Amino acid sequence: MWGIFFFTPSNAPKKIAVFDTTLRDGEQTPGISFTLQQKQEIARQLSEIGVRTIEAGFPASSGAEEETVRSIAEMGLSADVCGLARMLKSDVDVCIDCNVSMVHVFIPTSDVQRIHTIRKSREEVLHALEEVIAYTRDHMEKVMFSAMDATRTDWDYLLQVYEAAVNAGATVINVPDTVGVMTPSAMRQLASRISDRIRVPIDVHCHNDFGLAVANTLAAVEGGASQVQVTVNGLGERAGNADLSQTVMSLESIYGISTGITTQKLVETSRLVSRYAGFTLPPTQPIVGDNAFSHESGIHSHGVIACSQTFEPGIMTPEMVGHRRRIKIGKHTGRHAVRQLLADVHMHPTEAQLDEIVEKIKFIAGKGKKLTDADLYEIAESVIGGNGGKRVFKLQDITVITGNHTIPTASIRALVDDKEHIHSSVGSGPVDAAMKAILAVLPAPIVLKEFRIEAISGGSDAIGHVTIAVEDPSGRIFDASAAGDDIVLASVEAMLRAVNLLHRR
Ligand code: MN
């Protein structure tokens, strides 16, 4: 390691438990709604990667929500399954009926929420929480208490509230920054004041209104919090919650604190939730975004090829989070990266040829075109010559049918290494069926890693631009693109270009 230091404040616990609320606060993201089956799959994934507690929902909010929470509680996951309840015995009863292993009760404590939402005095809030927490604890071993809007609550009163909750039987207390107004230094101070007075574990729930959710969560840990509430991809109300990957990797890699999370599955988890949420992450998203470990500029690519720590954190590698390092070509590409990418597929241009290839790349990219691996090899072939164009996979014909009473089906006839294959596949749509048919006849197992389709022009006759990335068994990723007014055929063409790059290894 080069000049890496770990900063672990003396107050910070050595182990942090991860509490995930993707299925509760995350689903409250405007425009997002998961099906029951999707929620079960997300819960299974979260449990498998080592999340300690999964907040499955708010059972008293509807019959459907109650069913969902019950079904997740009865999946037999190793994670604890938690249900949310207002400070009402009737809400708690619904949670108990769902067989959850933890109930999370909350009540507003800030003056603004107390006066305008529940219209209770400070004393009435104390009485209500004492009564309901004691009742919950009679039926449940694990009870978490949240003082909603804690960070905007008078701190002296807040400490009184937490003491009352613990005396009534709360086993964990949560400090929610409900509207995301804290700063890291204030959060660290608040958490340490609470941990000086309270003997149960402290949990923290931060919102990202000012982009500080992860920073505030880490600051709470510095102050003594031992459980962090997160969501996958930072989903949640308004600007969302603290992101699971960012929080976990900061704790693990920067602070050197163990979270019990199998970090190698963070990218996979993020993609699962993105797909179900219909929510595309920006490429610059930390840890899990497409560009998190991608390099294009000449200086950076050259550095990373020589030693990855030159322009990456080093204490966090792509392998640690289930990502891949990628050298991308574009307007800022340099000679070293191009030489390396071509050497990987046994193409060895002379110095003069390399100059010409780089010049062509910059010319094309300078006009705003995104370049794929397929484009790079075609440009290199046009300069060097050679037989790189030999296609392992030759499509002879493809027929795709779809309709409102038809399962989308694709039938193909293709030559693979000069041997004829005939195959049919069904899919969720015509493009999916066609992709599956092509992948089914390939000799080695190829995984589709990325599929993006953009409409270039408006109207129903818009040109569709398809970009595909495939991964071979050794983990190497190749991408290719194609455009056309028939999106099924454009997808097929992009897929053929991508799979025909695989034999270059
Ligand atoms: Mn929240």
Mean pLDDT of 1-25: 77
Q: What value does the mean pLDDT take over residues 364-377?
A: 89
pLDDT tens per residue, range 103-153: 999 999 999 999 999 999 999 999 999 999 999 999 999 999 999 999 999
The mean pLDDT value for 8-29 works out to 88
Contact of 228 with 247, CB cutoff 8 Å: yes
pLDDT of residue 462: 84
pLDDT number for residue 15: 94
Residue 495 in this model has a pLDDT that exceeds 90: yes
The residue with greater pLDDT, 462 or 438, is 438
**pLDDT value at 389 more than 70:** no
- Sign of the alpha-carbon dihedral angle for 335, 341, 343, 349: negative
Residue 484 lies in a domain: yes
Whether residue 2 is predicted with pLDDT greater than 60 in this model: the reply is no
Predicted local confidence at residue 42, as pLDDT: 98
CA–CA–CA angle 64, 66, 67 (5° rounding): 65
Whether 173 has a pLDDT exceeding 70, the answer reads yes
Say if CB 168 and CB 129 are below 8 A apart: yes
**Would you list the DSSP string of 92-160?**
HHHHHHTT-SEEEEEEE-SHHHIIIII---HHHHHHHHHHHHHHHHHH-SEEEEEEETGGGS-HHHHHH
Number of domains in the chain: 3
Please compute the mean of the pLDDT values over residues 447-454 and round it to a whole number.
Answer: 88
Same domain, 109 and 209: yes
Q: How many whole angstroms from 243 Cα to the centroid of ligand 1?
A: 12
Q: What mean pLDDT comes out for the span 231-238?
A: 97
Q: What is the pLDDT of residue 144?
A: 98
With pLDDT > 70 as the criterion, what percentage of the chain qualifies? 97
CB half-sphere exposure, 270, CA atoms < 13 A: 24
Q: What pLDDT, on the 0 to 100 scale, is given for residue 145?
A: 98
Residues 6+ apart with CB under 8 A from 381: 388, 389
Which chain residues have CB less than 5 Å from ligand 1, an ion?
25
Position 328 in a domain? yes
Question: Which residue type, as a one-letter code, is found at position 367?
Answer: K
> Which of 321, 351, 384 is where one domain is finished?
384
Write down the mean pLDDT value for the chain: 93
Give the mean pLDDT of 323-332.
89
- Contact assessment for residue 273 and residue 262, using Cβ atoms and an 8 Å cutoff: no
Between CA 476 and CA 380 the distance in angstroms is 19
> What are the residues facing 469 on neighbouring strands?
450, 479
C-beta separation of 183 from 206 below 8 A: no
Is the pLDDT reported for residue 1 higher than 60? Answer: no
With a CB cutoff of 8 Å and minimum separation 6, the contacts of 218 are: 184, 247, 250, 251, 255
Range scoring the smallest mean pLDDT among 53-57, 146-150, 163-167, 381-385: 381-385
Q: Which domain holds residue 476?
A: 393-504
Looking at residue 476, which CATH number applies to its domain?
Answer: 3.30.160.270
CATH number, domain at 131?
3.20.20.70
pLDDT of residue 208 exceeding 80, the answer is yes
Distance (Å) of CA 251 to CA 9, 217, 220: 12, 10, 12
Strand partners, 205: 176, 229
Alpha carbons 287 and 251: distance in angstroms, whole number: 13
222 and 306 in a single domain? The answer is no
Residue 5 domain flag = no
Please provide residue 407's backbone torsions phi and psi, each rounded to the nearest 5 degrees: -75, 125
* CA nearest to 344, candidates 380, 310, 319, 308: 380
pLDDT at 3 over 50: no
In a domain, 417, yes or no: yes
- Interval 332-345: pLDDT, tens: 999 999 999 999 88
Q: Please tell me the distance from the alpha carbon of residue 143 to that of residue 104, in angstroms, as a whole number.
A: 6
Of 384, 410, 445, the one marking the end of a domain is 384
Proportion of the chain above pLDDT 90, given as a percent? 77
The residue out of 360, 384, 408 marking a domain boundary is 384
Task: Give the Å distance between the CA of 505 and the centre of ligand 1.
Answer: 48
- If you search the block for the tokens 């929610």, which residue do you land on? 176
**Distance from the CA of 74 to the center of ligand 1, in angstroms?**
25
- Residue 412, pLDDT > 60, answer yes
Collect all residues with Cβ–Cβ distance below 8 Å to 45 and sequence separation of at least 6: 265, 268, 269, 272
* Inside any domain, residue 1: no
CA of 277 to the centre of ligand 1 (A): 18
Q: How far apart are CA 227 and CA 15, in angstroms?
A: 9
Question: Which is more confident, 442 or 203?
Answer: 203
86 versus 13: the higher-pLDDT residue is: 86
CA of 177 to the centre of ligand 1 (A): 8
Inter-helix orientation angle 335-344/373-384, to 10°: 90
- Shared domain for 140 and 244, answered yes or no, is yes
Distance 106 CA to ligand 1 centre (A): 11
Q: What is the pLDDT of residue 439?
A: 93
Segment 276-300, tens digit of pLDDT: 998 889 999 999 998 999 998 888 9
- pLDDT at position 26, please? 95
Is residue 70 located within the same domain as residue 139?
Answer: yes
Q: Give yes or no: residues 257 and 359 share one domain.
A: no
Q: Taking 50 as the threshold, does the pLDDT of residue 86 lie above it?
A: yes
176 touches 148 (CB < 8 A): yes
Distance 306 CA to ligand 1 centre (A): 44
Q: What is the per-residue pLDDT for 457?
A: 75
Evaluate the CA torsion angle 425, 430, 431, 434 in order and state its sign.
Answer: positive
| pLDDT higher than threshold 70 for residue 424 | yes
Whether 318 has a pLDDT exceeding 80, the answer reads: yes
Q: 247: CA distance to ligand 1 center in Å? A: 16
CA of 12 to the centre of ligand 1 (A): 23
CB-CB contact of 413 with 420 (8 Å): yes
Asked if residue 163 and residue 32 are part of one domain, the reply reads: yes
How far apart are the C-alpha atoms of 159 and 147, rounded to whole Å? 10
Q: Ligand 1: distance of its center to the CA of 73 in Å?
A: 21
Task: Name the residue with higher pLDDT: 279 or 3.
Answer: 279
pLDDT band at 504 (very low <50, low <70, confident <90, very high): confident
Predicted pLDDT of residue 187: 98
Q: Which helix (H) or strand (E) holds 373?
A: helix 373-384
Answer whether residue 368 shows pLDDT above 90. no
- When pLDDT is averaged across residues 469-498 and rounded to a whole number, the result is 90
Same domain, yes or no, for 101 and 157? yes
